[in-house]
């Protein structure tokens, strides 16, 4: 067959002119059910072994999941054994319900009941496929045949539960598999019949799970289907409406979110979206989407790097660098204008003591998901001036004055061009160190004394010291002025260094190890006309300024 879009049948829209969901918002977390150990696991090249499943299970419990689909125990001996191990070795916390999947077929249902013997809380999740396409090409049966399979399964489940002698608390979930490819009235009818058979009531509601088994339509159409379904179900009060979206069109999360607007109570998905083909709905993304809207997702995402590590190790899958919230690059801004805006956002929050998160380009505080500010900004040759200054301030505590940003940024860009790549913060600091802190010194102070004197009601500052030139010659420096910088300048003039003009100065405290020091940024006009900055650091603020002046001169004469 030649590639052609003509061979595809467009998805049929739902007739729902008075749809309500577009006006709704998500205001609370749904009931979450992790299907990592079943749908996620079945889609792995190498499914998890017992140890890996157990480790993953505990991670899910620690995150706060109360419903976890642990597998398909009737499908294989391994799955059965894992289910038994979880139960017999008491891995399941009392407030966690395990869910087990089974096709609506007699021998499989019986085996599933055996597999969960002794568990405290169990959801028996049974399903059969109901879609128009599957009825036509797979089962070659009509809707009555499909309803019979579901109802027979429900009858057997009811009977086995009634006969059960242990003290397991059973609940039931039914999935009309490929719900979104099913005529909505048929989906409603089969679910009504299953609910009647199971004797669902308000006290014992049945979970009706609506799978978007293969995502074939835009998320708004899936939301229409969910709203239509809920509005036509006979006994909505006795059902918990669950959705289970897949990601074939890349909208698994969007479809799940719109389904919540349409009235769903519960969401099934996996961490980072693992699952058949393009994956299941990513619970991390949906949960953190809620979080960034001020809604408590009721799951703990505070250490995403740890979740990622366990996930990657147990599944052998890799997280994409741009995966929302967790990818390596999601807290990195390359563009200069983005960096500037982020920088300004941090400044704004600091100045306004803002308790709200108001940083452009960062929809979430990286610290809330266990990431650090450090990798937020990488510096490359395209970065704006603010980016480098931001890293200097944010990562290393140096608040370079605004007038100094262009000079420092040029040095950074030169380094990037030399290396033909971006710099990480550590390398950025090395540029700063080489150019300012460890710069070769033509002039060095071997001794210095700065003191104040009052004469006739006027205050003066005296500078006295020795200047070593080119590691050889030593000259005395003596000067008086109205401040330490002025006094030092006057002393320099006397030894011939009289062509520099003082332009600007700023200073702040910086902690180095356990002690706090002053850092001074001094801007001078060079004899040739251009301006240059120097930096001085000392525990004495006056000495820091004097060292800053000398540093600027040394840089100018290098």
Give CA separation, 83 vs 75, 126, 156, 385, 508, in Å: 12, 17, 21, 58, 62
C-alpha to C-alpha distance for 163 and 141, rounded to whole angstroms: 32
Smallest gap from residue 39 Cβ to ligand KIV (A): 5
Q: How far is the CB of 275 from ligand KIV (least distance, A)?
A: 8
Which of ligand KIV, Zn ion, none does 175 bind, CB closer than 5 to 8 A by kind? ligand KIV
| Burial class of residue 522 (count of CB atoms within 10 Å of its CB; 0-12, 13-18, 19+) | buried
Closest distance of CB 211 from Zn ion, Å: 6
Q: Smallest distance from the beta carbon of 129 to ligand KIV, in angstroms?
A: 8
> How do 31-34 and 67-71 pair as beta strands?
parallel
Name the burial class of residue 334, with classes exposed (0-12), middle (13-18) and buried (19+) by CB atoms within 10 angstroms of its CB.
middle
Nearest approach, Cβ of residue 209 and ligand KIV (Å):
6
Specify the 3-state DSSP secondary structure of 100: strand
Q: How far is the CB of 37 from Zn ion (least distance, A)?
A: 13
Match 């620690």 to its residue by tokens.
Answer: 62
What's the rounded Cα separation, in Å, for the pair 179 and 149?
15
Q: Which of 67, 79, 177, 340 contacts ligand KIV by CB under 6 A?
A: 177
Query: With contact defined as beta carbons under 8 Å apart, do 180 and 139 qualify?
Result: no
Q: Does 224 bind Zn ion (CB under 5 A)?
A: no
Q: How far is the CB of 390 from Zn ion (least distance, A)?
A: 44
**296 vs 311: CA distance, rounded Å:** 23
**Encoding tokens for residue 75?**
């499908």
Intra-chain end-to-end CA distance of the chain, in Å: 72
Q: Which is nearer to ligand KIV, 244 or 415 (CB)?
A: 244
Contact region for ligand KIV (CB under 6 A) — 73-81, 207-215, 460-468, 505-513? 207-215
* Residue 366 site contact among ligand KIV, Zn ion, none (CB < 5 to 8 Å, cut-off depends on kind): none
Beta strands in 8-62, from DSSP E residues, in sequence order: 31-34
Interacting positions 75-114 with ligand KIV (CB under 6 A): 101
Q: How far apart are CA 536 and CA 166, in angstroms?
A: 78
Nearer to ligand KIV by Cβ, of 53 and 246: the residue is: 246
> Is the CB of 100 or the CB of 522 nearer to Zn ion?
100
Is the CB of 286 or the CB of 359 nearer to ligand KIV? Answer: 286
Residue 500 site contact among Zn ion, ligand KIV, none (CB < 5 to 8 Å, cut-off depends on kind): none
From 10-18, 23-31, 36-44, 139-147, span contacting Zn ion (CB under 5 A):
36-44
| Residue 39 engages ligand KIV in binding (rule: CB under 6 A) | yes
39 sits near Zn ion (criterion: CB under 5 A)? yes
The DSSP bridge partners found for residue 174 are 126, 208
CA–CA distance, 397 with 386 (Å, rounded to integer): 15
Question: Nearest to residue 192, comparing CAs of 180, 200, 182?
Answer: 200
176 versus 534: smaller Cβ distance to Zn ion: 176
Residue with smaller CB distance to Zn ion, 133 or 349:
133
Residue-wise over 261-287: b if at least 16 C-beta within 10 A, else e?
bbbbbbbbbbbbbbbeeebbbbbbbbb
Q: Does 279 sit near ligand KIV (CB under 6 A)?
A: no
424 is written with which tokens? 């990480």
> CA-CA distance, 418 to 12, in Å (whole number)?
58
69 binds Zn ion per the rule CB under 5 A: no
Query: Which of ligand KIV, Zn ion, none interacts with 71 (beta carbon under 5 to 8 A by kind)?
Result: none
Under the binding rule (CB under 6 A), the answer on residue 175 touching ligand KIV is yes
Nearer to ligand KIV, 244 or 555 (CB): 244
Q: Between residues 125 and 171, which has the closer beta carbon with respect to Zn ion? A: 125
In the complex, least distance from residue 187 CB atom to ligand KIV, rounded to whole angstroms: 13
Residue count, binding to ligand KIV (CB under 6 A): 10
Stretch near Zn ion under the rule CB under 5 A, chosen from 34-42, 202-210, 229-237, 548-556: 34-42
List the interface residues with ligand KIV, window 296-315 (CB under 6 A): none
Q: Does 79 bind Zn ion (CB under 5 A)?
A: no
CB of 112 within 8 A of CB of 74? Answer: yes
Q: Closer to ligand KIV at the Cβ: 33 or 518?
A: 33
Decide which of ligand KIV, Zn ion, none touches 222; Cβ closer than 5 to 8 Å per partner kind. Answer: none
Tell whether residue 211 is a contact of ligand KIV (CB under 6 A).
Answer: yes
Residue 86: CB minimum distance to ligand KIV, A: 20
Contact 193, 150 (CB under 8 A): yes
Smallest separation (angstroms) from ligand KIV to the CB of 33: 10
For the record, the structure tokens of 142 come out as 């009509």
Task: Compute the residue count for the chain.
Answer: 558
Q: Which of 53, 135, 244, 394 binds ligand KIV (CB under 6 A)?
A: 244
DSSP of 61-100? HHHT-SEEEEE-TTT-HHHHHHHHHHHHTT-S-TT-EEEE
Contact flag: residue 213 with ligand KIV (CB under 6 A): yes
Partner interacting with residue 415 (select from ligand KIV, Zn ion, none; CB below 5-8 Å by kind)? none
Report the sign of the C-alpha dihedral through residues 58, 62, 63, 69, in that order. positive
Residue 381 tokens read as 């040759």
127: contact with ligand KIV by CB under 6 A: yes
- 355's CB contacts (< 8 A; 6+ apart) are none
Residues at the interface with Zn ion (CB under 5 A): 39
Residues at the interface with ligand KIV (CB under 6 A): 39, 101, 127, 175, 177, 209, 211, 213, 244, 246
């Amino acid at each position: 067959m030649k590639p052609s879009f003509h061979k595809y049948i467009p998805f049929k829209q739902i007739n729902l002119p008075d749809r309500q969901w577009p006006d709704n918002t998500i205001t609370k977390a749904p009931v979450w059910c992790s299907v990592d150990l079943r749908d996620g696991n079945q889609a792995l090249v190498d499914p998890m072994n017992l140890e890996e499943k157990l480790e993953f299970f505990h991670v899910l419990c620690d995150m706060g999941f109360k419903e976890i689909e642990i597998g398909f125990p009737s499908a294989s001996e391994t799955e059965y054994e894992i289910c038994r191990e979880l139960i017999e070795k008491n891995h399941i916390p009392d407030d966690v319900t395990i869910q087990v999947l089974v096709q609506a077929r007699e021998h499989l249902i019986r085996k599933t009941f055996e597999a969960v013997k002794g568990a405290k809380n169990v959801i028996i999740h049974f399903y059969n496929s109901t879609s128009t396409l599957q009825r036509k090409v797979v089962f070659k049966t009509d809707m009555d045949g499909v309803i019979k399979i579901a109802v027979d399964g429900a009858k057997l489940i009811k009977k086995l539960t009634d006969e059960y002698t242990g003290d397991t608390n059973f609940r039931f979930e039914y999935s009309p598999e490929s719900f979104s490819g099913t005529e909505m009235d048929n989906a409603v009818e089969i679910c009504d019949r299953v609910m009647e058979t199971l004797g669902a009531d308000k006290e014992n509601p049945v979970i009706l799970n609506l799978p978007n088994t293969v995502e074939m339509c835009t998320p708004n159409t899936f939301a229409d289907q969910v709203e239509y379904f809920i509005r036509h179900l006979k006994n909505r009060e006795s059902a918990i409406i669950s959705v289970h979206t897949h990601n074939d069109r890349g909208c698994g999360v969007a479809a799940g979110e719109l389904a919540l607007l349409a009235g769903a109570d519960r969401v099934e998905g996996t961490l980072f979206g693992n699952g058949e083909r393009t994956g299941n709905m990513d619970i991390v993304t949906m949960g953190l989407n809620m979080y960034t809207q001020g809604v408590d997702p009721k799951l703990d995402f505070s250490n995403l790097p740890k979740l990622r590590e366990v996930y990657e190790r147990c599944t052998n899958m890799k997280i994409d660098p741009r995966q929302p919230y967790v990818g390596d690059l999601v807290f990195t801004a390359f563009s200069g204008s983005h960096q500037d805006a982020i920088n300004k956002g941090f400044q704004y929050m600091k100045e306004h003591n803002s308790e709200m998160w108001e940083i452009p380009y960062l929809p979430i505080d990286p610290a809330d998901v266990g990431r650090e500010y450090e990798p937020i900004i990488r510096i490359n040759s395209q970065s704006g001036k603010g980016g480098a200054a931001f890293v200097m301030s944010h990562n290393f505590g140096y608040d370079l004055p605004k007038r100094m940003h262009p000079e420092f940024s040029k040095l950074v860009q030169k380094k990037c061009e030399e290396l033909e790549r971006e710099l990480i913060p550590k390398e950025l600091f090395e540029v700063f160190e080489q150019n300012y802190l460890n710069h070769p010194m033509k002039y060095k102070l071997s001794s210095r004394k700065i003191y104040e004197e009052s004469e006739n009601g006027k205050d003066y500052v005296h500078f006295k010291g020795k200047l070593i030139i080119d590691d050889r010659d030593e000259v005395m420096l003596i000067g008086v002025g109205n401040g330490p910088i002025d006094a030092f300048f006057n002393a320099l003039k006397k030894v011939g260094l009289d062509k520099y003009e003082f332009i600007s100065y700023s200073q702040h405290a910086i902690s180095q190890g356990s002690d706090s020091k002053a850092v001074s940024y001094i801007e001078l006009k060079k004899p040739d006309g251009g301006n240059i900055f120097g930096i001085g650091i000392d525990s004495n603020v006056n000495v820091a300024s004097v060292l800053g002046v000398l540093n600027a001169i040394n840089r100018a004469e290098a």
